[in-house]
């Protein structure tokens, strides 16, 4: 039983479900959508674009505070697990749905697999960090995307028998998307020219939940947009906060900043791929820009994906105006670090490895599967 609840989950679930569907002699698969992200722009358009089958079960929990949302997911998912009796619950990423469903399954005695295990920001003010640590502590199979995850889990005392270094399923989706980008007309629709614009995605509470932080963000976006056109697909939650704090008008007044509704996965990948730079606070986008070789400025003080900084195109800039200005200047002059795509299993076959491991674990010969490099 696969669980997905929010936009980042869908990108990870898509290649897994495609791969597991090839092994129906072993796996009977089902998909539970918790409804953490529930509207078309944040959910339905991703199911369409990533060719994910319709969910078998939809919990329809909607948007609430962390405690209420987690509780609603647990109450609903417990009924699903008791009724359907899955052998394994597979959760991905680090959202509330991930932790809530892992906790329910573990308490009932159902095995749990966590895809994207071991990532750590070491920042306990991030809800996602709590979700990661709790989920990993409950999981029977921990599928790791980068080597820092192996080190973190070893330090935390997780048995090596549970841990499997399989690579990054986000890159599986990105490689898949690369074959379909010709369908995207997003540059024409937004009147953009390749490499003559930057992309903005900011939605984390530390950046958008307070008046003071949003004021800083607006000042930074004005600074950057004085040098290059910016396109900002607004997360619904960010839009609510901008309205709440009276900042939406300040952004719409910036002549070189273009606000849009959330984009489909293919359109957003196309937008990133052809951009000059990306300004973000998203974890997944740090990985995607590294794979696409696009300069990324992450407006956070830490990252749970250090490989994107060590090997990739990512630089942590926080809300340091001077550092951001310096980085943007260097990028536009062509002096920014180009980075390299991590060679450690960022090859589009992570989902295949996960399926192969689980075939073996349930006692079925998987020798016919291609060996991982």
**Residues ≥6 apart with Cβ < 8 Å to 283:** 8, 94, 119, 128, 303, 304, 305
Told to judge if 203 belongs to the known catalytic residues of this protein, a careful annotator would answer: yes
Query: Is residue 341 a contact partner of residue 291, using CB atoms and an 8 Å limit?
Result: yes
DSSP characters for 281-296? --HHHHHHHHHHT--E
* Number of Cβ atoms within 10 Å of the Cβ of 219: 13
**Strand bridging mode 57-58 / 88-92:** unpaired
Catalytic residue among 33, 203, 235, 245: 203
* Structural tokens at position 65: 């505070």
* Structural tokens at position 133: 């640590």
Query: Is residue 15 a contact partner of residue 54, using CB atoms and an 8 Å limit?
Result: no
- The CA distances from residue 228 to 186, 217, 248, 332, in Å, are 18, 16, 20, 9
* Number of Cβ atoms within 10 Å of the Cβ of 97: 29
Nearest to 313 by CA among 327, 302, 333, 329: 327
* Structural tokens at position 312: 């990739």
Residue 322: is it exposed, middle or buried by C-beta count within 10 angstroms (0-12/13-18/19+)?
Answer: exposed
Catalytic residues: 203
């Amino acid at each position: 039983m696969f669980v997905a609840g929010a936009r980042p989950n869908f990108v990870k679930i898509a290649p897994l479900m495609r791969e597991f569907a090839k092994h129906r002699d072993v796996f009977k698969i089902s998909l539970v959508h918790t409804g953490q992200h529930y509207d078309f722009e944040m959910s339905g358009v991703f199911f369409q674009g990533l060719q994910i089958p319709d969910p078998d079960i939809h919990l329809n929990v909607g948007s609430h505070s962390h405690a209420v949302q987690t509780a609603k997911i647990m109450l609903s998912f417990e009924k699903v697990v008791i009724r359907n009796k899955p052998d394994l619950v597979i959760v991905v990423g680090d959202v509330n749905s991930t932790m809530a469903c892992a906790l329910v399954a573990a308490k009932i005695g159902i095995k749990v697999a966590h895809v994207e295990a071991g990532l750590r920001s070491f920042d306990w003010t991030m809800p996602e960090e709590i979700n990661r640590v709790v989920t990993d502590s409950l999981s029977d199979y921990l599928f790791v995307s980068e080597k820092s995850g192996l080190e973190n889990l070893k330090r935390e005392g997780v048995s090596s028998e549970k841990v499997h270094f399989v690579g990054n399923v986000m890159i599986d989706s990105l490689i898949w998307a690369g074959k379909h980008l010709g369908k995207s007309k997003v540059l024409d629709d937004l009147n953009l020219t390749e490499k003559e614009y930057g992309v903005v995605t900011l939605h984390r509470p530390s950046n958008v939940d307070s008046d003071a932080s949003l004021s800083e963000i607006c000042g930074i976006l004005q600074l950057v947009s004085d040098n290059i056109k910016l396109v900002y697909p607004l997360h619904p939650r960010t839009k609510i906060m901008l309205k709440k704090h009276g900042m939406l008008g300040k952004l719409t007044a910036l002549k070189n900043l273009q606000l849009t509704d959330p984009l489909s996965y293919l359109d957003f990948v196309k937008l990133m791929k052809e951009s000059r730079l990306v300004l973000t606070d998203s974890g997944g986008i740090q990985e995607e820009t590294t794979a696409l070789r696009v300069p990324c400025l992450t407006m956070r003080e830490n990252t749970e994906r250090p490989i994107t900084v060590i090997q990739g195109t990512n630089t942590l800039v926080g809300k340091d105006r001077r550092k951001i200005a310096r980085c943007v200047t260097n990028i536009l002059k062509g002096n920014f670090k180009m980075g390299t795509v991590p060679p450690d299993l960022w090859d589009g076959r992570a989902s295949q490895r996960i399926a192969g491991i689980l075939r073996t674990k349930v006692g079925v010969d998987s020798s016919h599967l291609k060996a991982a490099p």
